[in-house]
Structure 1
Amino acid sequence: MNDNYIPMKQQFFYYEGSLDYYSSSGAYVFHPIENDFNVITDNPIVEEYEGNLVSEIQQMFNDWISQTIRVYKNENYVEFDWIVGPIPNITSYEVLGKEIITRYTTNMKTDSVFYTDSNGREIMKRVRDFRPSWNFSIDEYISSNYYPITSKILIRDEKNDLEVAVLTDRGQSGTSLNDGEVELMLHRESKVDDGLGVEEELQELAYGVGLVVRGSHYVNSGSFINTRRGDSPTYQQKDIAQRKLLSAWTFLSPTNHLSFEDYKAKHTLQFEGLTRSLPANVQILTLEPWTETSFLLRLEHVYEINEHPDWSTTATVDFNDLFTTFEIISIRETTLGANQGLDEHERLYFKPDKETVEEKVHGGSHDPEWKIWKKKSKVYSYTVKEEEDEEYSIERLEELKIQLKPMQIRTFIIDIQIK
């Protein structure tokens, strides 16, 4: 892929959930009974199909796990379309709960480092068995290295200039427990309550049997130092996310026995809401009616600082004649939640004082005696910053042009006139 060859092996495993009274695996807790996993099978039933546009490998691992791997012509990703469930013996208390994962294994040297997205936006560096702000002691080797994955997890081989990213189609959790590996949690069930408020086991049923979960992973790889616009893995992953994870909804309607020509004459088969494309590093987050003559509009810069040599730059958006069905006659910038004009917004700046106070904190429901613990907290005072902050300054919007810095989101109320 992208003129790079990276050997990869993909497998399914499961952990068995702990029944420990103080930290049983459940809705809020992932606690495997051992720092080990169980192999589903290394010998699935396989069928291969070759086509002009796509080639498929269909795999059946057992009665409740199957997968289709698709390699598309002229695409820069491989799709793993997996189906897991119903998990067997989900209501039986004679067996431990199963927590099913998929693991992608390569020969890359990643030095205990991997990266996860932060709510689908910035990429956060993770280091196995390490926390940047305190001395980390390893009590739960597996679960302590799991992180939330909204849309992407990736690993890099700095020496060989290689990157492998796995894009998810839903929020999951994941990790890299060994160099060159990416692991994602797919499905879970537990036998006991974890004691954190739900007061029930994690046993989701549909029609009397466990749930079936289906999803897709999109695997992309390449040279992460590559500076060419279209060949950069970062650019490709943004494009995959737009097309696959944020794809348009599809609706079907009856044709009422009309021929295609008659249907085409009576209906609009193609619609474009913009007169021109936005910059490649900008997308519309929100466009919804606000009043009869105004809309709420949010724009987002999708690149981080220094993430891409071309697109991690300030973007300019010209609202003049941008939309096909209406024109903007005035614009007002607001706070992110659109509940206050940005020119009316006063930020509070907190400064820690030297003294501390003691707070009483409950030990939690797993503490049999619900002991009261004490902790020391800093006291903070705040002031209203009066001088202008460049990040929150407002341009003159009469020209209907705005700028977006990397990762910036700006919110506007726009008054419109129908064309």
Structure 2
Amino acid sequence: MSTELNSGSVGGFGHMGKNDPYNDGHSGSGSSGGSGNGGGNGGNHSSSGSSSSNVEHTPWGDVIAGADGFNYMNGIKMTGENSQLAYVSSTRLVRVLNSLLDRSYMKPEPGEHNGVTGVPATSPSRQELADNALTAAQTNAKTAADNVAKANAAINQAQTRLNTAKSKIPGLEANVTTKQQASDKATARAHELGHFLNDMGGPGRYQALQAGYQADVAQNELNSAKKALTNGQAEIAAAQKALDDAQKALPVATSNKQNADAAVASAAEMKDAITTATAFFESVSKKFGERSARLAQELAAQARSAKIRSVPEAVALFDKYKGSAVNKLNAADKAAIANAFKSLDQAAMAKQLAAYSKLFGRFNAFADLADLSNAVYKGLTTNDWKDAFNKLESMAVSKVAGELITVAFAAAGAPLGIVGFGMVMMLSGALFANENVLSAINKSLGL
């Protein structure tokens, strides 16, 4: 299910070319890099390294090998069209659904390392991805709006065509009546003089021949009039069909426009969320140093679609990596960290939660933060962290790590010292992050 590369340092997501069994043979050679559609830079994670004969765990979710020879994620068969190869270490690739990679914006910026594994960052940057997504959505929305305008124009044109065709029918019918009367009169005259046709050389023969000719002309004119009426009726039918088709196309075009407008709004919200997250990383970098920001980015990358651990597992890892700094905190420091959850500006917190939830996942209830702060205070004062982890676990709606990062990043915006910030990252990370990151938090954030 994964692919090992012999090349050196690589970065980005892309297709493997002829070495990729999903490739249709039209892409390039086996070496890859490039941009792809973005994605979380998972690094050399233990969570992705674990695999069995049928399942491989990746930062984006489990990859299951199907009996048909294809790999599946979230029940979807992965093909060359709906998936691509993504790096989980500097030499390993795994096939991942584009839909998961497309929203994996939380990765280091181009040219930067993720601060834990040393895997080079990917390009384009998350801000560029968001900008490109919004631009593409706006382009699609403009096309959809143009299509609505074209559909309305087609209705107007078809209606005008139908009205014109209908307006001609009375005249065409009147012309048929006139030509029918003329034909009947000419035919009657030809019949009246018909007996003179055998009068060779007599004066009546010429009149009979002339009457027969006039009858033929009148009949031809009648046929032409009838044909014109038939064509006019056919034009009504064609114009009506064109109008019906145009009227059917309008709701489709309108629905497409509504969807395109919604996509623009969603892309704009995502861009705002990316801007918020980027500002958060910049703030962390200024307050606690660049490596702290890298660790926050790494947690975000791992949180994409990662399932959370059980509480006992999380508690064990937390105890292993939280270090001795907590024991060295005095009562005032512990109270300050616990009260940081309570001191958050309600409006600002709601805005941050809304922004981060678009990147990482929903959260249960804003009121849960008060319970979480009490649980954190209990952990700080009694060294019993089980309640804190139970609370964090319950706050994750679908047991996906991204929902924990939503809360953790919002809480980390409070006026915490570096130890407090480290505690927030460690508490959330213990539920899903691999031990490389937990160890790095321990060493880098004063724990």
Q: TM-score, normalised by structure 1?
A: 0.24
Q: Which has the larger radius of gyration?
A: 2
Give the TM-score, by structure 2 length: 0.23
Which of the pair is proportionally richer in helix?
Answer: 2
